[in-house]
């Protein structure tokens, strides 16, 4: 007999199809996200990595439609699924969209201090969020807030009556996590979850995220320029370059069997515990101007493998082995070189050092 609950449980909560986002800038149209397609799987952690300005944060904001006024989603589809029901996020209006933004998909923004209202105590910020979506008595709201603050391993009675500036950076980050969970969303988007935190606090936040995810069963999409965090927390990793996903695969494949020259370049630029300083190789040049993108593959100016074809044609993301996709014309050569680099230099990937 068919187990209907299993079908619902295993449905991907989010599917993004051919998403394009543009900003109107003074010099012209900035193509910040270009044709992004991916699925977020149930209970998985999906990391988006890449240099600043590659479109990671814009993608996260587009998913909950919190883009600035000068931005527009020019093409694409965002499909959200829960309990056997599918919703086209780009068609949601007013109240429905607000419901989606907190109750189904919550985002924790970069810079924990800026995300709070500085003149309100934590309790009032949490109660406002609950009140806007649920009907609860004052005592029920307090109980919910205290319980989540306890879940993120804070002293709930002390923190609930504090102002944001009375808390450390790590405590604020945990309060934001608790707030994102207030309305029991199925998806959490984290933008640079540990930026500006010291190394020990980073470790605590990562452990906390892992245990919350295991306990509560949400899917996590996180954005990071720090490869060691992606290696530590992600089940799958998407590498973004010039607004597009250029490689998507299981975390092991991305770090130990990279097949795109940009992913390989990012990994080789990370210092490791056992590698020599000489092993570190930075990626030459800088990311392209998103207003005036080069022809062909957008990485060709910086790519050591570039050929005439790369300068004329843009590769699309194609399957390369199970659960691994790459947008590159010279995948086999990159794979062979990546293997030779690891074997020849003893250089280890970021995941091993983490
Ligand atoms: Fe480099 Fe060509 Fe692959 Fe682009 S398609 S990443 S330029 S080898």
172 and 212 inside one domain: yes
Those residues whose C-beta lies under 8 Å from the C-beta of residue 55, and which sit 6 or more positions away, are 21, 32, 33, 34, 36, 240, 242, 243, 244
CATH value at residue 14? 3.40.50.300
Which of 189, 216, 234 terminates a domain? The answer is: 234
Instruction: Please give the number of the atom of ligand 1 that sits closest to the Cα of 311.
Output: 7
Note whether residue 350 is domain-resident: no
What is the whole-number distance in angstroms between the Cα of residue 49 and the centre of ligand 1? 18
**In a shared domain, residues 185 and 209:** yes
Ligand 1 atom 6: residue of nearest CA = 328
- How many Cβ atoms from other residues are within 10 Å of residue 137's Cβ? 8
Any atom of ligand 1 within 6 Å of the Cβ of 335: no
Question: Residue 1's pLDDT band (boundaries 50, 70, 90)?
Answer: very low
Please count the structural domains in the chain.
2
Q: Same domain, yes or no, for 93 and 164?
A: yes
Domain span including residue 271: 240-345
Domain shared by 169 and 284, yes or no? no
Residue 299 within a domain: yes
Distance from C-alpha of 334 to C-alpha of 344, rounded to nearest angstrom: 15
Do 186 and 285 share a domain, yes or no? no
The answer to whether residue 354 is domain-embedded is no
Residue 138: the pLDDT is 92
Which atom, in ligand 1's list, is nearest to the CA of 300? 7
How close is the Cα of 91 to the center of ligand 1, in Å?
36
Say what the pTM is: 0.89
Q: Report the C-alpha dihedral over residues 330, 315, 90, 43, rounded to 10 degrees.
A: -10
Using pLDDT thresholds of 50, 70 and 90, give the confidence band for residue 112.
Answer: low
User: Encoding tokens for residue 171?
Assistant: 């405590």
Do 229 and 246 belong together in one domain? no
**Does the CB atom of residue 331 touch ligand 1 within 6 A?**
no
Which of 303, 316, 325 most suits a substitution to test ligand 1, by most atoms within 8 Å of the C-beta? 303
Task: Please identify, among 234, 262, 287, the residue that sits at the C-terminal boundary of a domain.
Answer: 234
Tens-place pLDDT, residues 26-41: 899 999 999 999 999 9
224 plus 276 within the same structural domain: no
**Does residue 79 form part of some domain?**
yes
Whether 257 and 196 map to the same domain: the answer is no
11/138 same-domain check:
yes
Looking at the fold, whether 289 and 199 belong to one and the same domain comes out as: no
222 lies in the same domain as 265: no
Neighbours of 284 (CB within 10 A): 10
Q: Which of 234, 251, 266 is the last residue of a domain?
A: 234
Q: Is 153 helix (H, G, I), strand (E, B) or coil?
A: coil
**Dist CA 225 CA 195 (whole Å):** 9
What's the pLDDT score for residue 283?
Answer: 85
Q: Are residues 26 and 123 in the same domain?
A: yes
């Amino acid at each position: 007999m068919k187990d209907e609950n299993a079908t619902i449980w295993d449905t991907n909560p989010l599917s993004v199809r051919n998403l394009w986002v543009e900003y109107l800038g003074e010099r012209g149209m900035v193509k910040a996200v270009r044709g992004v397609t991916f699925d977020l799987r149930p209970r998985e952690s999906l990391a988006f990595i890449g240099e600043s300005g590659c479109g990671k944060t814009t993608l996260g904001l587009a998913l909950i439609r919190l883009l600035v006024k000068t931005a527009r989603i020019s093409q694409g589809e965002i499909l959200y699924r829960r309990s056997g029901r599918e919703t086209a996020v780009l068609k949601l209006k007013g109240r429905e969209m607000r419901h989606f933004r907190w109750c189904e998909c919550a985002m924790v923004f970069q810079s924990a201090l800026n995300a709070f209202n500085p003149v309100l105590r934590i309790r009032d910020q949490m109660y406002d969020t609950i009140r806007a979506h649920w009907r609860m008595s004052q005592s029920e709201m307090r109980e919910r807030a205290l319980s989540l603050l306890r879940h993120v391993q804070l002293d709930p009675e002390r923190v609930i009556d504090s102002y944001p500036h009375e808390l450390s950076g790590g405590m604020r980050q945990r309060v934001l996590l608790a707030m994102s969970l207030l309305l029991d969303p199925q998806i959490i988007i984290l933008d640079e979850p540990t930026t500006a935190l010291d190394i020990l606090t980073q470790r605590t936040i990562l452990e906390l995220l892992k245990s919350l995810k295991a306990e509560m069963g949400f899917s996590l999409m996180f954005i990071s320029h720090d490869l060691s965090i992606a290696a530590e927390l992600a089940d799958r990793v998407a590498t973004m370059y010039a607004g597009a996903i250029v490689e998507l695969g299981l975390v092991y494949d991305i770090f130990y069997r990279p097949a795109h020259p940009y992913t390989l370049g990012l990994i080789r630029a990370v210092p490791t515990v056992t590698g020599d300083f000489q092993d570190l190789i930075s990626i030459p040049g800088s990311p392209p101007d998103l207003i005036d993108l080069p022809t062909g593959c957008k990485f060709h100016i910086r790519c050591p493998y570039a050929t005439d074809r790369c300068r004329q044609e843009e590769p699309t993301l194609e399957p390369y082995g199970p659960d691994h996709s790459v947008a590159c014309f010279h995948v086999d050569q990159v794979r062979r070189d990546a293997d030779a680099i690891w074997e020849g230099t003893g250089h280890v990937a970021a995941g091993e050092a983490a």
